Structure 1
Amino acid sequence: MPFFDQAETFRKAWPAISGHVEDVFDRGKFSHGRKVSELEKAVAGYTGARHAIAVNSGTDALVLLLRAAGIAPGDEVVVPAFSFAASATSVALARARPVFADIEPESYALDAASAASVISERTRAVMPVHLFTQMADMDALRVLAADHGLLVVEDSAEAIGMRWNGVHAGLLGAGGVLSFFPTKTLGALGDAGMILTDDDEIARLAGILRHHGRMGKTIDHIAGISNLSGVSGTNSKMDDIQAAVLLAKLAGLDAQIERRARLAAAYTERLRDVPGVTRLPTIVERTSDTNPVFYVYVVEADRRDDLVRHLTDRGIGTEVYYPIPLHLQPCFSALGHSPGDFPHAERACERTVGLPFYPDLPESAVDMVCDAVREFYTGRTG
């Protein structure tokens, strides 16, 4: 049983997908063309964003958003120590400095109090990451940012469909991003990403940066744009085949989100009394209205690595989130962190594991996974 599989999803969606793909071939524009524009309009409509700017990956979306928001060499950006590497490497690629803070143990999101403790005179932005299932505490983080005159740049790569008081993830600050990596809630056939923002100038600059400094057919002289400090653009255009796939799948996104919620409930019901499974996905109650969207189903478990081997031996795929916290990654060793600096992030890295989770997963497969987990801890399956 794989950790992720979307073969059946594509079989069901293929008539719609093939129609969009044939349209791409008929027009003969395979990159940064009409289908990309259609997707941008559709995603803007779904999220309520004033601007949706398509790029070639979620990582590039973060890098270009940071640059378009004015993050410059020497600036510091506060990021959580528990996240995918791109949350921090995007800051470095924007030629700024990531500054790590700890997470809330229940939501795995950036902890506002920890973030406040690492703010310096060089801090320019705070980057919450909406991880796995729910959004970070945007009320607390926005107050923190306002008190210190900071930008809020959201790593909302996993958060399509999540909203805060009705506002879609990525639109509660300067901007946010979406990743359309194949495993994501809305996944392409390869890499693709999107910048979301309500800021006209950020959208304009991001559009320039993704296309070698071009706006349409015209070369825009990047050195003349003061907000970018003379930094040139790059090639981060989305290709129209990925846009065609995403347009077709977007129509069924809400149904896919509902199916994910049902599968998560099935897992929770079957695992709630298994000894050794010490934390199931916890939806933190916030003062503001927010909705969970299950991108993955992550639990904390005793003897996590042994459990993974046990499941692998039974043909069950898993994903460890994340083996090494960001502050202890070799690429950030120059920042001088040591084990123990961010205990909640480090504990999560030692104990979290994602179980097989995708809309086509039958509930009988959930039973199989949960029986195998129970067998590991108790020696029995029922």
Structure 2
Amino acid sequence: MPFIDLKSQYKALQPQIQERINRVLEHGQYIMGPEVKELEERLVAYTGAKYCITVSSGTEALLISLMALGIGPGDEVITTPFTFVATAEMIVLAGATPVFVDIEPDTCNIDPSKIEAKITGRTKAIMPVSLYGQAADMDEINAIADRHGIAVIEDAAQSFGAEYKGKKSCNLSRIGCTSFFPSKPLGCYGDGGAIFTSDEGFAQACREIRVHGQSQRYVHTRIGVGGRMDTIQCAIVLAKLDRFEWEIEQRKRVGGRYNELLDATGVARVQQRADRTSVYGQYTVLVEQRADIQKLLTDAGVPTAVHYPVPLHQQPAYKQYIGNDPMPQAELAASRVMSLPMSADLTEQEQDRVVAAVSEAMRAR
């Protein structure tokens, strides 16, 4: 079975996707074509944020957001060490310093109770990650940020479609950033991403930065990047949006069923909080002797992945940012997490096979 089943999704949407792509090929506006604006309007309606700026990737969304905030050398941005490297990478590329805060052991998201102790006069933003498809405790994080007059950027690359206390991910703080990488809950067929905000001035800054800092053609009001999302990729996401609500419900159903089946076997897993939903960007369990378990599952024909085996504060490029603070929960999670096959099209038969293989592997280790 595939780890992520994109082929079944494509087969279900093939006519709509082909029609959308053909429309772009016919009008020939491959950069900033009409589908870009259409997608931004659809995404605004979906999230409830006032503005959406599509960009070339989720990574670029983070960088453009930091640039629009004016964050640079001498500044600090608080984030989690347990995430894909892009989160901290963009902080460093903006010229700022990432300050790591350990995670909650049950959700693997940043621990809000540990954030305030890391705030200094140089702190300009907090960048929580909505890991595995579930938002962090955004109310608490926003309250901390408000007390100190700093921005919050939700790295929602894995959580588009999830909710926190009835509000959509990407509309939980001043700024939300997501990714449309193919494996994400809402993915295109290449790279793509988006920035969300209800701050008009910030939105305008992001629009200018994504086209080399232009306020109008050949008038460069700020330093920018080439960060536009291709029209064809926007067209693909538009086609997928028509089935997205169904996919979210299916992902929640599949994730909930995994929870029931695995809880019955005693396998530890990442927990979901009652006041929020997860779109299960990955479905992740926690196991000892992970390499042995993975080999047994591979032998049984069940693919797995590890998100993420080495926390950022232990990565060679980022060790200099750790200071003297230990990150025991991030280190423990990195040694135990293992993701299982997950998609909206995963059948109950496939799911039963995965759970049976996991249970057998746990007994056999």
AA aligned opposite 2:70: G
Q: CA deviation at 1:216?
A: 5.0
Number of aligned residues: 365
Aligned pairs for 1:232-381 (under 5 A) are 232-275=223-266, 277=267, 279-285=268-274, 289-337=275-323, 341-379=326-364
AA aligned opposite 1:348: A
Maintained 8 Å contact 1:44/1:52: yes
Task: Describe the superposition over 1:143-191 as per-residue Cα deviations: whole angstroms up to 9, x where unpaired.
Answer: 2112222111111111211233333222233211110011110011111
**Corresponding residue of 1:227:** none
CA distance in 2, matches of 1:290, 1:263: 16
CA distance in 2, matches of 1:146, 1:213: 29
Question: RMSD value over aligned CA atoms?
Answer: 1.7
**Corresponding residue of 1:217:** 217
**Corresponding residue of 1:52:** 52
Maintained 8 Å contact 1:327/1:337: no
Task: Describe the superposition over 1:85-121 as per-residue Cα deviations: whole angstroms up to 9, x where unpaired.
Answer: 1111111111111000001111111111211121111
Question: SS state of the match for residue 132, structure 2?
Answer: coil
Q: CA deviation at 1:314?
A: 2.3
Question: SS state of the match for residue 139, structure 2?
Answer: helix
Question: SS state of the match for residue 99, structure 1?
Answer: strand
Maintained 8 Å contact 2:56/2:227: yes
Maintained 8 Å contact 2:180/2:186: yes
Identity score, percent: 39
Task: Describe the superposition over 1:339-359 as per-residue Cα deviations: whole angstroms up to 9, x where unpaired.
Answer: x81111111101111100111
Q: CA deviation at 1:379?
A: 4.4
Aligned pairs for 1:182-197 (under 5 A) are 182-197=182-197
Maintained 8 Å contact 1:103/1:111: yes
**Corresponding residue of 1:165:** 165
Aligned pairs for 1:80-99 (under 5 A) are 80-99=80-99
CA distance in 2, matches of 1:216, 1:194: 21
**Corresponding residue of 1:69:** 69
Task: Describe the superposition over 1:109-145 as per-residue Cα deviations: whole angstroms up to 9, x where unpaired.
Answer: 1111211121111111111111113211112111211
Maintained 8 Å contact 1:81/1:325: yes
Structure 1 residue ranges (4+ consecutive) displaced by more than 6 angstroms after TM superposition: none
Aligned pairs for 1:64-143 (under 5 A) are 64-143=64-143
Maintained 8 Å contact 2:133/2:281: yes
AA aligned opposite 1:331: A
AA aligned opposite 1:283: Q
AA aligned opposite 1:329: Q
AA aligned opposite 1:345: A
AA aligned opposite 1:75: D
Task: Describe the superposition over 1:192-237 as per-residue Cα deviations: whole angstroms up to 9, x where unpaired.
Answer: 0000011111111111111112245342332xxxxxxxxx211111
AA aligned opposite 2:241: L
Query: Could you tell which deviates more after superposition, 264-273 or 106-115?
Result: 264-273
TM-score (ref. length: structure 1): 0.91
Maintained 8 Å contact 1:69/1:174: no
CA distance in 2, matches of 1:68, 1:59: 14
Which residues of structure 2 form unaligned runs of 5+?
Answer: none
Which residues of structure 1 form unaligned runs of 5+?
Answer: 223-231
Maintained 8 Å contact 1:135/1:290: yes
CA distance in 1, matches of 2:309, 2:81: 12
Q: CA deviation at 1:12?
A: 1.0
Task: Describe the superposition over 1:306-345 as per-residue Cα deviations: whole angstroms up to 9, x where unpaired.
Answer: 111111222221110111011111111222557x811111
Maintained 8 Å contact 2:280/2:342: no
AA aligned opposite 1:323: P
Q: CA deviation at 1:56?
A: 0.7
**Corresponding residue of 1:8:** 8
CA distance in 2, matches of 1:221, 1:267: 51
Question: SS state of the match for residue 251, structure 1?
Answer: helix
AA aligned opposite 2:230: D
Question: SS state of the match for residue 273, structure 1?
Answer: helix
Query: Could you tell which deviates more after superposition, 128-137 or 194-203?
Result: 128-137
CA distance in 1, matches of 2:185, 2:134: 13
CA distance in 2, matches of 1:269, 1:252: 26
